[in-house]
C-alpha cells in the first residue's frame, strides 16, 4: 500500500508560517499520531527547497541555484520510504502555489497517494496582507499605494483560486484537492492548528504544543505609515532601515489590537466590496467543486462583518499617537533585553554547574 503524501501548497499569506512552526515544533507527536513531517528541502521550518528546485534556475534563490530537482526528489522518496511504519507524510511550502503541478507529479513518480492541501483566504485580506509584507520588506516603489498594488495583473491572477486549483486538479485529480477556507468559524476546532491536524486525520490537539507567540503579526496602520516614511527617507542610512523597521514591528505586539487605525483600515468597505466582486464567480466555483456547497459560499464573513474594515479618516500623526508608538518601541526593546539577560543567567548557571562537576571529578 502506498503512503499518503499531503502536500501543503499555501497559498502565501494564509497561515502557512503558523502551520509550519506548529508542525515543526511537534515532529515527534505528529509521528506518534501517524504522520511524518519530511526534512527534505528543509528551510525556515518548511520544505521550501522542494518548491524552489521546480522554478527555473534563473529565478531561484541563491541557496538552490544549480541544485538538481531529480536528486532532491529522489532523496525525498528515499526519506519517506525509510518510514514504512508511518502511514502518512507531510511536506509544506507556500512556494508550491506558484509551480507547475506537472513538474511536481513527474518527480514524485507515482510513489505516493498524493493529497493537495490549499488554504484560501478572502482576496481583499490577502491583498492587504501582501501589501504589508512587501512594505515591511521594502519591496514597494516609493509612491506605490494599496490602490496601485491592487491593479497588478501579476498579483491578481494568483487570487483567482478556481483557475489555480484547476491546474492542480487536472494533474492530481479533483478528489485529491483539499480546500480549507481561512476563517476561524470554518476551522475544525476553531483553530488553524486543530484544523491542519484534522486534515491529517488527527482530531485532537492533546499532546501537541501550541506556539506561544504569533507568527507574522500584522502591524497597526500607524506603524505602517511610519515604516513607509522610513523607506522613503533618503537621509536614513539603508543599513539602519531594517533595524528601525524591526523595532517598530516588535512594538506592534504592544499596541492595542482595537485601534481604529488597524491594518484593515487601509482598504475601506466600499473598496473591499468592489475588489471582491472580481472574484465572485471564481469563489463560487471553488465552493461548489471542492466543498460541495450548493449555495456557492466559500467564505462566511463579509467585509462589513469586521468593524475594523469600516471607513476611517486618517488625520495624520497626532502627538499622543506618536508618543504611544515610540513608548512601545522602547518597551519592546527593553523586553528583548530582559529576555537576553534571563537567557544569559541560565547559561551562566549551566556553566557554573559544569565547572563544579569538573572540580569534583579531579
pLDDT at 28 over 90: yes
Domain contains 2: yes
pLDDT 10s digits, 72-114:
999 999 999 999 999 999 999 999 999 999 999 999 989 999 9
Domain contains 105: yes
Range of the domain at 37: 1-121+182-215
Please tell me the total count of domains within the chain.
Answer: 1
Distance CA 135, CA 286 (A): 30
pLDDT 10s digits, 140-162:
776 777 888 899 898 899 999 99
Domain contains 78: yes
Lowest mean pLDDT among 164-178, 257-271, 285-299: 257-271
Distance CA 188, CA 184 (A): 8
Distance CA 218, CA 195 (A): 22
Lowest mean pLDDT among 50-54, 133-137, 244-248, 258-262: 258-262
**167 close to 105: Cβ distance less than 8 angstroms:** no
Average pLDDT over every residue of 106-133: 93
The pLDDT, as a whole number, for residue 246 is 75
**Confidence at 310, pLDDT banded by 50, 70, 90:** very low
pLDDT at 257 over 80: no
Give DSSP secondary structure letters for 23-61.
HHTTHHHHHHTTEEE--TT-BTTBBHHHHHTTS-GGGS-
pLDDT 10s digits, 191-208:
999 999 999 999 999 999
Q: Residue 90 is inside which H or E element, if any?
A: strand 88-92
Domain contains 13: yes
> Who wins on pLDDT, 14 or 324?
14
pLDDT at 254 over 70: no
Average pLDDT over every residue of 308-314: 45
pLDDT at 119 over 50: yes
The pLDDT, as a whole number, for residue 329 is 64
**Confidence at 311, pLDDT banded by 50, 70, 90:** very low
> Residue 202 has what DSSP assignment?
-
The pLDDT, as a whole number, for residue 332 is 64
Domain contains 142: no
Domain contains 150: no
Amino acid at each position: 500500500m502506498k503512503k499518503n503524501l499531503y502536500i501543503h501548497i499555501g497559498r502565501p499569506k494564509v497561515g502557512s508560517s503558523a502551520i509550519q512552526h506548529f508542525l515543526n515544533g511537534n515532529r515527534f507527536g505528529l509521528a506518534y499520531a501517524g504522520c511524518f513531517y519530511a526534512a527534505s528541502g528543509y528551510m525556515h521550518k518548511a520544505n521550501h527547497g522542494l518548491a524552489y528546485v521546480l522554478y527555473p534556475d534563473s529565478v531561484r534563490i541563491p541557496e538552490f541555484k544549480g541544485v538538481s530537482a531529480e536528486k532532491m526528489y529522489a532523496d525525498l522518496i528515499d526519506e519517506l520510504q525509510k518510514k514504512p511504519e508511518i502511514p502518512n507524510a507531510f511536506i509544506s511550502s507556500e512556494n508550491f502555489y506558484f509551480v507547475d503541478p506537472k513538474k511536481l507529479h513527474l518527480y514524485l513518480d507515482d510513489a505516493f497517494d498524493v493529497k493537495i492541501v490549499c488554504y484560501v483566504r478572502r482576496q481583499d485580506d490577502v491583498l492587504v496582507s501582501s501589501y504589508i509584507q512587501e512594505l515591511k520588506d521594502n519591496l514597494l516603489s516609493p509612491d506605490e499605494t494599496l490602490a496601485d498594488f491592487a491593479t497588478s495583473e501579476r498579483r491578481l491572477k494568483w487570487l483567482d483560486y478556481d483557475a489555480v486549483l484547476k491546474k492542480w486538479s487536472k494533474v492530481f485529480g479533483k478528489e485529491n484537492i483539499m480546500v480549507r477556507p481561512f476563517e476561524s468559524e470554518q476551522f475544525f476546532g476553531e483553530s488553524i492548528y486543530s484544523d491542519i491536524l484534522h486534515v491529517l486525520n488527527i482530531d485532537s490537539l492533546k499532546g501537541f504544543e501550541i506556539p506561544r507567540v504569533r507568527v507574522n503579526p500584522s502591524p497597526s496602520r500607524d506603524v505602517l505609515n511610519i515604516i513607509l516614511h522610513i523607506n522613503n527617507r533618503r537621509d536614513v542610512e539603508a543599513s539602519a532601515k531594517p533595524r528601525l523597521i524591526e523595532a517598530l514591528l516588535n512594538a506592534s505586539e504592544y499596541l492595542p489590537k482595537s485601534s481604529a487605525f488597524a491594518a484593515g483600515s487601509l482598504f475601506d468597505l466600499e473598496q473591499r466590496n468592489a475588489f471582491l466582486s472580481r472574484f465572485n464567480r471564481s469563489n463560487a466555483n471553488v465552493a461548489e467543486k471542492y466543498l460541495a456547497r450548493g449555495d456557492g459560499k466559500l467564505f462566511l464573513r463579509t467585509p462589513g462583518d469586521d468593524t475594523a474594515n469600516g471607513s476611517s479618516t486618517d488625520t495624520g500623526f497626532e502627538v499622543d499617537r506618536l508618543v504611544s508608538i515610540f513608548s512601545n518601541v522602547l518597551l519592546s526593546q527593553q523586553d528583548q533585553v530582559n529576555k537576553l539577560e534571563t537567557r544569559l543567567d541560565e547559561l551562566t548557571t549551566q556553566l557554573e554547574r559544569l565547572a563544579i562537576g569538573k572540580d569534583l571529578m579531579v
